[in-house]
């Protein structure tokens, strides 16, 4: 599903590699936590997957798409396979919860009927039933992040990338967000989560990939054994 083969990324004007000969294989429906100190290369890894950045060398295949042969016109198809959630939620302040999620479908050309059918289902999954008509400013940080997750998964991507989604949240709200990610994973979406929160890593008991200085220094399955 996700395959990185000896992937190196060197940003221009940087002497050191942001990532150096990374090998990573993620199966469909896996839940993988990516950890590592600031500057280790975590965001770079995620940006390579979403095609915001291109590798300097190495091979990337996601959902059967070989990035080397990816044509401009195929990028929307790729982006549909990958939902992304950031630390700063990036919701539209003048749209309600319902409208924020609906917007992701509108721009993709879904009909009003499909939107009315799909949005409530997704809001239910993330635990926001009853908040449809609220504006982002009326929500807690955890609720806001769950809207962002709803928006990221409403088109049913195969992969959900969550880059520090709990970074701005207190422990209770952070865990609510993590539980939503687990639920989405249970429905069959591959989840890639980056976090600095050791408590979340310990509690989740999932595969943990540790990156340091652009290299994978450990890759441990939920049982703690090296992959």
> Among the candidate windows 22-30, 39-47, 62-70, 75-83, which touches ligand ADP by CB under 6 A?
39-47
Name the segment binding ligand ADP (CB under 6 A); options: 35-43, 78-86, 89-97, 143-151: 35-43
Binding of ligand ADP by 14 (CB under 6 A): yes
- How large is the greatest C-alpha to C-alpha distance in the chain, in angstroms? 53
Contacts to ligand ADP from residues 197-226, by CB under 6 A: none
Distance CA 136, CA 147 (A): 9
| Closest to 165 in 3D by CA, of 50, 79, 88 | 88
Joined tokens for residue 3:
């395959």
* Listed residue (156, 144, 142, 158) closest to 191, CA to CA: 158
Q: Which is nearer to ligand ADP, 11 or 187 (CB)?
A: 11
Residues in the chain: 227
Count residues contacting ligand ADP (CB under 6 A)?
A: 11
Element containing residue 180 per DSSP (H, E): helix 171-186
For ligand ADP, which stretch binds (CB under 6 A), given 32-40, 108-116, 171-179, 215-223? 32-40
Applying CB under 6 A, among 7, 24, 33, 42 the residue interacting with ligand ADP is 42
Contact yes or no for 26/190 (Cβ under 8 A): yes
How many C-alpha atoms does 142 have within 13 Å on its Cβ side?
A: 16
Residue 36 binds ligand ADP (CB under 6 A): yes
130 binds ligand ADP (CB under 6 A): no
Nearer residue to ligand ADP within complex by CB, 10 or 134:
10
The helix (H) or strand (E) run that includes residue 99 is: helix 97-106
Nearer to ligand ADP, 29 or 196 (CB): 196
Closest CB to ligand ADP among 86 and 103? 86
**Pairwise CA distance, residues 153 & 85, whole Å:** 9
Determine if 54 is a binding residue for ligand ADP (CB under 6 A): no
Which of 31, 33, 35, 41 is close enough to bind ligand ADP by CB under 6 A? 41
Nearer to ligand ADP by Cβ, of 45 and 125: the residue is 45
Which is nearer to ligand ADP, 18 or 123 (by Cβ)?
18
43 lines the binding site for ligand ADP (CB under 6 A): yes
Q: To which H or E segment does residue 137 belong?
A: none
Burial of 213 (0-12, 13-18, 19+ CB in 10 A): middle
Q: Which residues bind ligand ADP (CB under 6 A)?
A: 11, 14, 18, 36, 38-44
């Amino acid at each position: 599903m996700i395959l990185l083969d000896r992937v190196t990324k060197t940003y221009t004007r940087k002497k050191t590699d942001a990532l150096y000969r990374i090998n990573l294989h993620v199966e469909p429906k896996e839940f993988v936590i990516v950890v590592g100190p600031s500057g280790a290369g975590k965001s770079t890894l995620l940006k390579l997957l979403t095609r915001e950045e291109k590798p300097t060398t190495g091979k990337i295949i996601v959902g059967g798409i070989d990035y080397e042969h990816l044509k401009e016109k195929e990028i929307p198809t790729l982006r549909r396979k990958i939902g992304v959630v950031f630390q700063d939620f990036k919701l539209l302040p003048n749209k309600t919860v319902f409208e924020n999620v609906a917007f992701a479908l509108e721009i993709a050309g879904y009909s009003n009927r499909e939107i009315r059918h799909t949005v409530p289902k997704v809001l239910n999954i993330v635990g926001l039933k009853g908040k449809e008509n609220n504006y982002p400013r009326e929500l807690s940080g955890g609720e806001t992040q769950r809207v962002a997750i709803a928006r990221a998964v409403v088109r049913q991507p195969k992969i959900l990338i969550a880059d520090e989604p709990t970074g701005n949240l207190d422990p209770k709200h952070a865990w609510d967000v993590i539980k939503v990610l687990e639920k989405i994973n249970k429905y069959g979406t591959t989840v890639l989560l980056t976090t600095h929160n050791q408590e979340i890593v310990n509690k989740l008991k999932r595969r943990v990939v540790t990156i340091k200085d652009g290299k994978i220094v450990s890759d441990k399955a939920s049982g703690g054994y090296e992959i």
